[in-house]
Structure 1
Amino acid sequence: METKDITGKKVHHGHNVKRLRQSRGIKQQAIAHELELSQQVISKYEQMEELDEEILQKFAKALDISVDVIKMLEEDPVAVYIENNTFESVNDNAKINVASDDSSTNTFNELDKVIELYERLLKTEQERNTALEDRLSKLEEKLNGKK
């Protein structure tokens, strides 16, 4: 089973299952119950780069999506960074819906959230750069003062 596409972007089935599950606000325990597995087994599957076709089909059915979505969703380092810094802070009562074939409605605009998170990340990086520039200029002043 190939895990890279032509562009060289990496596809990680387990991470894709986790991302799709989290985006729907579904806990590992709920998927485990539906698939008649333990939560620990779900966690292990979500860490695996490649999942066999049977497992992919079970997850796709439980998440009400196509197997191809799990197989083709690419890992994006920025998305992984954003996910790792946002999903832990989502409270248990929050509902995050992803557009699907049914008529469910989004509770927020995903693109706006991505832009907001990107701007926060950019602002943090700019603040770090400013602080480093200040430290560098102070160091240069000290060095020039000693000459």
Structure 2
Amino acid sequence: MNKLDKVKKTHHGHNVRRMREVLGIKQGALAIMLDMPQQTLSDKEAKEIIDDETLDKISKALNVPLKVLQEMKEDPATIIFDHPTFAEGSIGNVGGDSIQYNSPVEKIIELTNEKVALYERMLELEKEKIAWLEKLLSDKK
């Protein structure tokens, strides 16, 4: 087995970690979403193979297709794009001009942020509803 064969292997735990980081979700936050201790999630991210049931829960929490977490391979390009140079969106310098990497991941992050804002608004409405119902109950007594 040569070096490239080793690199192209699927590693569920690394896939979970990479998708979580791309989406800007902290490990602790994902652990809460999955109702598991952070250490358990950390252990899962270190595992090469994660059982399908757990991987399905994680994919739903991250809002990504299960197949992505199951089949995304670690190849040299992925490793390069994980490098901090590309974290800011700059691929390189060609003749003094910076080339921008436009990724669909940016759209996923934007949609996730919109989803968070929606949940926060819904939570605020629920709190108002509870306060209103508590007031009604106290007025009846």
Q: Normalising by structure 1, what TM-score? A: 0.52
For residue 47 of structure 2, what is the amino acid of its counterpart?
M
Identical aligned residues as a percent: 39
Q: Which residue of 2 aligns with 1:18?
A: 17
Kept in 2: contact 1:24–1:97 (CA 8 A):
no
Match of 2:111 in 1: 104
Report whether the alignment pairs 1:41 with 2:40: yes
Matches within 5 A, 1:44-59: 44-59=43-58
1:86 aligns with 2:93: no
Equivalent residue number for residue 131 of structure 2: none
Deviation of residue 86 (structure 1)?
2.4
Q: 1:78: Cα distance to partner?
A: 4.5
Q: Which amino acid aligns with 1:104?
A: L
Q: How far apart are residue 9 of structure 1 and its match?
A: 2.6
How far did residue 80 of structure 1 move? 2.8
User: What are the Cα deviations for residues 18-61 of structure 1, in whole angstroms up to 9, with x where unaligned?
Assistant: 00000000000001101111111111100100000111101000
Paired letter, 1:27 = K
Q: Hey, what does 2:72 align to over in structure 1?
A: 73
Unaligned runs of 5+ in 1: 1-7, 91-95, 106-147
Where do 5+ consecutive residues of structure 2 fail to align? 1-6, 89-102, 113-141
- Structure with greater helix share of residues: 2
CA RMSD of aligned residues (A): 3.1
